[in-house]
Chains A and B, each alone.
Chain A
Amino acid sequence: MRDADARPASAMTRPAVPVVGIGASAGGLEALREMLAPAQRPTGLAFVVVQHLDPNHESMLAELLDRATALEVLQSAGGERIEADKVYIIPPGRGLAIRDGVLELTDFAQRRGMRRPIDDFFQSLAGDQQSNAACVILSGTGADGTTGLRAIKENGGVAVVQQPESARYDGMPLSAVGTGLIDFVKPPGEILDCLRGFFGRRNSEPGDAQAGVVADHVDELCRVLRNAVGHDFSGYKRSTLIRRVERRMHVLGIDTGRAYLARVRGDADECEALFRDLLINVTRFFRDAEAFETLRKQVIEPLLRERATDDDLRVWVPGCSSGEEAYTIAMLFAEAARTSGQPLAVQIFATDIDEQMLSIAREGNYPAAALNDLAPGLRERYTVPHAERFTIASQIRDMIRFSSHSLVKDPPFSRIDLVSCRNLLIYFDDRLQQAVLPLFHYALRPGGFLFLGPSESVGRFEHLFTVVDQHARLYERAPGAPSYPIDLPGNSRPTGARRERDGRGESPALTNESVAIRRIVDRYAPASLIVDQDGGIAAAYGKLGRYFDFPVTRTGGSSAVNLARPGLRTVIGPLLRQARDERRRVVARDVEVETDYGIQPVEVICDPLGDGTLLFVFRDSGAFRPSDQGELEDLAATDDHLEAIEDELRLTRHRLRTAIEELETANEELKSSNEEMMSMNEELQSTNEELSTVNDELKSKVEQLTVAISDLRNFHQSTELAVVVLDADLKVRSYTDAAVSIFPLQPADRGRPLSDVASRLRGSDYLEDARAVAAGAPATQRRVMTRDGDRVLSLRVLPYRTQSGSVDGTTLVLTDITEALSLERQLAAERERLDLAIKAAGIGVWEYCPETGETVLDGVEQRLFDVEGEEATRIDPLLDRIEAEDRGAVETALRRAVERNGDFEATFRLRPTNGKVRWVKGFGRVIAGSNPPRLVGVSIDVTPEYTLAETRELMLREMNHRVKNLFAVIAGMITVASRNHDEVRPFATDLRHRIAALGSAHSLASPAGQPQAIGLDELVAATLAPYRDHSHITVEGPKVALNRQCLSSLALILHEWATNSVKYGALCGEKRDGAPDGGTGLTVRWRVGGNGLELDWDEVGPGDQEAEATQRGFGSLLVDTSVRQLLGEVRSEAAGRSFRMRMKLPASVLARD
């Protein structure tokens, strides 16, 4: 073995991974665990587990096994290529097959309880893997696996069975052991080692060398077998013999042929095992259907047609094995007879040397799978189905005699019409084949047919058989005298042994010798007869007509005693009995045989042959005496008595036979009943197995249910939901404790209609709802109040759905929503207030989801942004409304708020599609915990505030300008005044006054700079205010608002006039009270006309005005310049004491409003 290992791997083809099919049923899990637990990788084997599984439940087998073994365990889903060190498990509800090393799932053809998944898989395994297959049968009831095991063995695989004592259920193991084909019987834990050993030995041995070794011992083995079992295999094909012997050696772990020989010599059991292995062959119904079709057309139908009226057709099926071939032929005959309407007079002899096979054949009981080989019509007419097996109909069964008979050892049948010997010769070597074919020639009547297997032929015996159909291997016996093969191929042991020594070349000589002997017997030897122990004629030689009444057949059940002629008849019986009992040769001398024509004295010798048959030899001991009448009568008288006794014996025998037949019939019936019982038992057992599996699962379900129920009970007791479950008739099914506060239910109320139960609810609408929902309406919800009105409840009525989805009752769910309602009301009020506030403030509310860009705007916000409908739901149109300059800032602020999860604040301008730009300030905040983040916020229209600020800015600039302007004016005044003043003091005084006047005029303008109108009256009043006490001053005129631009000029003009007046005119002195006519006074009047403003300055001074008027140098320049500035004109009139200034100013000095 080590040498083998040392050889380079390339030199040997890698052996395929052996596939071990494991069949298990009840108790199988335990056995599987034990079997696979010791596995250590690599095992070099692949395993396929076929377990009876409940098709409706998921199998946990793979999971359970996986924990127990180092091998990879997986449930097959179909399509897996078998790999080493993996365990494939059959899935529930499917069968398993293997093709080209790939697993396939199959559907069961049989109904549940009749399926035999183990047999099915083993058969497929055997066909696919041949000798690479192994099967293991573990614990289980019934007999699944037994048939499959045969297939495995037929294809050269190995079979292992769990030791029945170690199995929890020993049905399957015992049934398997019963086949006698089992190689190993082991406790589960040892099976794996055993298989590894077997395949290890097989794969590691160089086949040729071993074959040589074995071949050396085959002859000797055959001899040993012949001695022990009585069957000579020396004529069998060498290659087959060697292969099968080797297999036995692998099984036993024996390495050398010599050792095995020794084993066989000393071990009768091994002899038996080898014998059985050698005989394994494959057979089935209609094997090679085409050939049988030819047989039907060419042989069976013509035979039936041409049959002589009185003759039965005789068919011989040697090597019938389990009987399928014989039954096939019987069915063909029956079918042909049926269709042609001819009587079915056919007798079929089916023979084999294996008693075990014969008993299977006799039962005519086959697995249902074999039915597929039969055409539907045949199946219907000629089979009786039982559960997963079927039996052959009795009409077919009765056509066939099964008997133990060796083709090579026992005398052949004769006058046969058809010999069907298929696939037997292939096991024979040349020599044996050549011995057997003449034998068939002898057995067949002239014109009879020989039907061989597809790889067999008549060889060189073409002169004995002519071809009818070469393809179907159908031959016709050539005419010619039958030559009886005296020297049967495996007849006497010494000659057999000698023949082997003489070698095969002797065969033709032997045939010639047997012809010679036949000739001698037929022509020269005295007539003789072989009978069985009851006197039935087994064979006859020579001219027996003188001693017996015809017809005499060479074989058959005819009694020699009955057929013997008077005189002889009286002798044969006693002679037979004596010879049989004493096992010695006995002779009866001077026997006078009476024929129709006279008396023949003979000497009869009876010689027991040792195998239970006896040889009668008849020798004439004297001359034939022609008969005469007188003598006839005397003798007749003496014979009468004997004849009467013989008659009685015959009668008695007849009765006995009838009784036996009746018994047999009864027995047959019992057998068939038994079979039915067995099959029922099988069915029950498989159901039982499934039940026990289901039971286990149910147990765990019950546990789960218990927990679930307890959960439910706790829920019922602890929940504050009031739930009442009603059935379809609105009867209370269950309720929670909280429901009691509304429906005062007692535990005893379960099953009472809810309408009978008082309720604290106002009204009974809930019953209507429940009724409607129970009838299929959708779930309803309504508010109900308690009678006292304290509580408001939400009542939901839901359909109660069963697991199948149909409605079976309703569930009432009551929730106390009193508080929720008041809360809801409060919330509504709050919300209303909030809404009001928001509305009042003109605040727009928005919501924005940055991730999706979706927005939600309220009405105010929509108006603010001037968007509506679809536009208001996206951020983009909103951003478009924002002024381009501000948009970036807004987007940044939004982004920052989201990133920092903080607040959003932005002020921006909106440019609505129509209307003015508006300033909007937005605030927002990311909603805490929102995902994706959402912003919610408000927008406020701040346009008025912004307008105000802008105005203020404008004002400020204006004021600034004005002040600067004022400085410039003052600077100008200084420049101008400096031309007219030589002295600094009066110059300064004048200037200060003017500046003061300007200042007071300016103070009229609002300090805040509002563009409010300044009244002319106010200006006049302010200018004259310092001189109010100087004179009588009248100011008259309508209310006139002045343009601010003109204020300084006008103030300067008025100031100049006032200053002049103080110096020279009306305002120079004290008031002269009480002298209205001659008194001084100043009147300032103005009118507003179409051309503008006209202002009159009238004063009455204390003295003459004219002189002074001319001297007004710088002052008048100032006034002229100012008037010019105002685009006006001024005239002065002086007359005596009165002095008048008339000034016309254009409308531009008036404030526009």
Chain B
Amino acid sequence: MPVTDPAAVDVLLVEDELFIALDLQETIEDAGFHVVGPCATLVEAEAAIERHAARFAAAVLDVRLADGTVFPAADRLHAAGVPLLFHSGHADDAALRQRYPSATVCPKPSAPDTLANALRRCAERQKAA
């Protein structure tokens, strides 16, 4: 594997449900990315962002976490220009789209292909930017 910029392959995964996180991790890695996380809580997620200086190819986020919503972290990522991919069974699309117009929303549960495709699109967009 050629050495690449970690920021080009790192994907932040925030998901409090571990089984789902495992599943997602596999899907993401199958798509050729490297997973940072999974982070089950907002605190973990923010620590990860801090650690990576918010340099990610994309971020896959669950909305509701055990210690609150993911939005503070999402805001930070959004500000840093990281493409966001929400994976949630909760929040309605409308609210999310309003808050993050450029974000992708994959309703839970999503087929792995759908997720992988969405992720690639995000990464490409990031790369282009």
A975 touches B109 (CB 8 A): no
A969 touches B89 (CB 8 A): no
Q: A964-B109, A967-B109, A969-B17 are in contact. Are A975 and B22 (CB under 8 A)?
A: yes
Q: Is A1122 an interface position by the 8 A CB rule?
A: yes
Q: How far is B23's CA from A965's CA once the two chains are assembled, in angstroms?
A: 13
B17 touches A968 (CB 8 A): yes
**Residues on the A chain within 8 Å of B66, using CB:** 1045, 1127, 1148
B90 touches A976 (CB 8 A): no
**Separation in Å of the B62 CB from the closest CB of chain A?**
10
B18 touches A975 (CB 8 A): no
Taken residue by residue from 618 to 659, chain A's Cβ proximity to chain B (1 for < 8 Å, 0 otherwise) reads as: 000000000000000000000000000000000000000000
A975 touches B90 (CB 8 A): no
B20 touches A968 (CB 8 A): yes
Contact of B20 among A960, A971, A1127 (CB under 8 A): A971
Contact of B23 among A961, A964, A975, A1127 (CB under 8 A): A975
Nearest CB in chain B to that of A1125: its residue: B18
Q: How far is B20's CA from A961's CA once the two chains are assembled, in angstroms?
A: 14
Q: How far is B109's CA from A973's CA once the two chains are assembled, in angstroms?
A: 13
Q: Is A671 an interface position by the 8 A CB rule?
A: no
Chain B 1-54 interface residues, beta-carbon cutoff 8 Å to A: 16-24, 26-27, 40
**Residues on the A chain within 8 Å of B16, using CB:** 1125
Chain A 378-395 interface residues, beta-carbon cutoff 8 Å to B: none
B26 touches A965 (CB 8 A): no
B89 touches A972 (CB 8 A): no
Contact of A968 among B23, B26, B40 (CB under 8 A): B23
Q: How far is B18's CA from A973's CA once the two chains are assembled, in angstroms?
A: 10
**Residues on the A chain within 8 Å of B109, using CB:** 964, 967-968, 971
Q: In the complex, which of the residues B16, B22, B26 has the most CB atoms of chain A within 10 Å of its own CB atom?
A: B22
Q: Is A196 an interface position by the 8 A CB rule?
A: no
Q: Is A717 an interface position by the 8 A CB rule?
A: no
Taken residue by residue from 960 to 986, chain A's Cβ proximity to chain B (1 for < 8 Å, 0 otherwise) reads as: 110011011101111110000000000
**Separation in Å of the A593 CB from the closest CB of chain B?**
167
Q: Is B76 an interface position by the 8 A CB rule?
A: no
Nearest CB in chain A to that of B67: its residue: A1148
Q: In the complex, which of the residues B17, B18, B23 has the most CB atoms of chain A within 10 Å of its own CB atom?
A: B18
A1125 touches B40 (CB 8 A): yes
**Separation in Å of the A1053 CB from the closest CB of chain B?**
12
Chain A 1106-1153 interface residues, beta-carbon cutoff 8 Å to B: 1121-1122, 1124-1125, 1127, 1148
A972 touches B108 (CB 8 A): no
A972 touches B90 (CB 8 A): no
Nearest CB in chain B to that of A969: its residue: B19
**Separation in Å of the B73 CB from the closest CB of chain A?**
19
**Residues on the A chain within 8 Å of B17, using CB:** 965, 968-969, 972, 1125
- For chain A, the count of residues having a C-beta within 8 Å of the partner chain is 20
Q: How far is B20's CA from A1125's CA once the two chains are assembled, in angstroms?
A: 11
**Residues on the B chain within 8 Å of A1122, using CB:** 18
Q: How far is B87's CA from A965's CA once the two chains are assembled, in angstroms?
A: 11
Q: How far is B24's CA from A960's CA once the two chains are assembled, in angstroms?
A: 21
B90 touches A969 (CB 8 A): no
Q: How far is B117's CA from A895's CA once the two chains are assembled, in angstroms?
A: 56
**Residues on the B chain within 8 Å of A1124, using CB:** 18, 40
**Residues on the B chain within 8 Å of A1127, using CB:** 66
Q: How far is B17's CA from A971's CA once the two chains are assembled, in angstroms?
A: 12
Chain B 70-112 interface residues, beta-carbon cutoff 8 Å to A: 89-90, 107-109
B20 touches A1121 (CB 8 A): no
**Residues on the B chain within 8 Å of A971, using CB:** 20, 23, 109
Contact of B21 among A964, A972, A1045, A1148 (CB under 8 A): A972
**Residues on the A chain within 8 Å of B108, using CB:** 964-965, 967-968
Q: How far is B108's CA from A967's CA once the two chains are assembled, in angstroms?
A: 8
B89 touches A968 (CB 8 A): yes
Contact of A975 among B26, B40, B89, B107 (CB under 8 A): B26
A976 touches B20 (CB 8 A): no
Nearest CB in chain B to that of A973: its residue: B19
A972 touches B20 (CB 8 A): yes
Q: How far is B65's CA from A1148's CA once the two chains are assembled, in angstroms?
A: 13
A969 touches B20 (CB 8 A): yes
Q: A968-B108, A968-B109, A1045-B66 are in contact. Are A1121 and B89 (CB under 8 A)?
A: no
**Separation in Å of the B41 CB from the closest CB of chain A?**
9
Q: A964-B108, A968-B108, A968-B109 are in contact. Are A1121 and B90 (CB under 8 A)?
A: no
Q: How far is B89's CA from A964's CA once the two chains are assembled, in angstroms?
A: 6
**Separation in Å of the A204 CB from the closest CB of chain B?**
106
Q: In the complex, which of the residues A972, A975, A1045 has the most CB atoms of chain B within 10 Å of its own CB atom?
A: A972
Q: A967-B109, A975-B26, A1125-B40 are in contact. Are A961 and B90 (CB under 8 A)?
A: yes
Q: How far is B108's CA from A816's CA once the two chains are assembled, in angstroms?
A: 83
Q: How far is B66's CA from A961's CA once the two chains are assembled, in angstroms?
A: 15
**Residues on the A chain within 8 Å of B89, using CB:** 960-961, 964-965, 968
Q: How far is B66's CA from A684's CA once the two chains are assembled, in angstroms?
A: 125
**Separation in Å of the A466 CB from the closest CB of chain B?**
133
**Separation in Å of the A965 CB from the closest CB of chain B?**
6
A972 touches B40 (CB 8 A): no
Q: How far is B90's CA from A1045's CA once the two chains are assembled, in angstroms?
A: 14
Nearest CB in chain A to that of B63: its residue: A961
Q: How far is B32's CA from A1071's CA once the two chains are assembled, in angstroms?
A: 52
**Separation in Å of the B67 CB from the closest CB of chain A?**
10
**Residues on the A chain within 8 Å of B23, using CB:** 968, 971-972, 974-976
**Residues on the B chain within 8 Å of A965, using CB:** 17, 20, 89, 108
**Separation in Å of the A402 CB from the closest CB of chain B?**
130
**Separation in Å of the A256 CB from the closest CB of chain B?**
121
Q: How far is B38's CA from A972's CA once the two chains are assembled, in angstroms?
A: 14
Q: How far is B90's CA from A960's CA once the two chains are assembled, in angstroms?
A: 8
**Separation in Å of the B68 CB from the closest CB of chain A?**
13
Q: How far is B17's CA from A1121's CA once the two chains are assembled, in angstroms?
A: 9
Q: How far is B90's CA from A965's CA once the two chains are assembled, in angstroms?
A: 9
**Residues on the A chain within 8 Å of B18, using CB:** 972, 1121-1122, 1124-1125
Nearest CB in chain A to that of B111: its residue: A971
Q: How far is B40's CA from A969's CA once the two chains are assembled, in angstroms?
A: 14
**Residues on the A chain within 8 Å of B27, using CB:** 975
Contact of B19 among A1045, A1121, A1148 (CB under 8 A): A1121
Nearest CB in chain B to that of A960: its residue: B89
**Residues on the B chain within 8 Å of A975, using CB:** 22-23, 26-27
Chain A 970-1016 interface residues, beta-carbon cutoff 8 Å to B: 971-976
**Residues on the B chain within 8 Å of A964, using CB:** 89, 107-109
**Residues on the B chain within 8 Å of A1121, using CB:** 18-19, 22
Q: How far is B40's CA from A672's CA once the two chains are assembled, in angstroms?
A: 145
Q: How far is B4's CA from A442's CA once the two chains are assembled, in angstroms?
A: 172
Nearest CB in chain B to that of A1120: its residue: B18
**Separation in Å of the B20 CB from the closest CB of chain A?**
4
Q: How far is B107's CA from A967's CA once the two chains are assembled, in angstroms?
A: 12
**Separation in Å of the A1143 CB from the closest CB of chain B?**
16
Taken residue by residue from 918 to 934, chain A's Cβ proximity to chain B (1 for < 8 Å, 0 otherwise) reads as: 00000000000000000
**Separation in Å of the A565 CB from the closest CB of chain B?**
164
Q: How far is B17's CA from A965's CA once the two chains are assembled, in angstroms?
A: 8
**Residues on the B chain within 8 Å of A1148, using CB:** 66
Q: How far is B50's CA from A66's CA once the two chains are assembled, in angstroms?
A: 115
Chain A 1033-1063 interface residues, beta-carbon cutoff 8 Å to B: 1045
Q: In the complex, which of the residues B19, B21, B24, B107 has the most CB atoms of chain A within 10 Å of its own CB atom?
A: B19
For the complex of A and B, 7 pairs with smallest distance between CB atoms? A972-B19, A964-B89, A972-B23, A968-B109, A1121-B18, A975-B23, A968-B20
- Could you tell me which A residues sit within 8 Å of B by CB distance? 960-961, 964-965, 967-969, 971-976, 1045, 1121-1122, 1124-1125, 1127, 1148
- Could you tell me which B residues sit within 8 Å of A by CB distance? 16-24, 26-27, 40, 66, 89-90, 107-109
- 9 more contacts with CB within 8 A, not counting A964-B107, A1125-B18, are A964-B108, A965-B20, A968-B19, A968-B108, A969-B17, A971-B23, A975-B26, A1045-B66, A1124-B18
List 10 contacting pairs A-B, 8 Å CB cutoff, sorted by A: A965-B108, A968-B109, A969-B19, A972-B19, A975-B22, A1045-B66, A1121-B19, A1124-B40, A1125-B40, A1148-B66
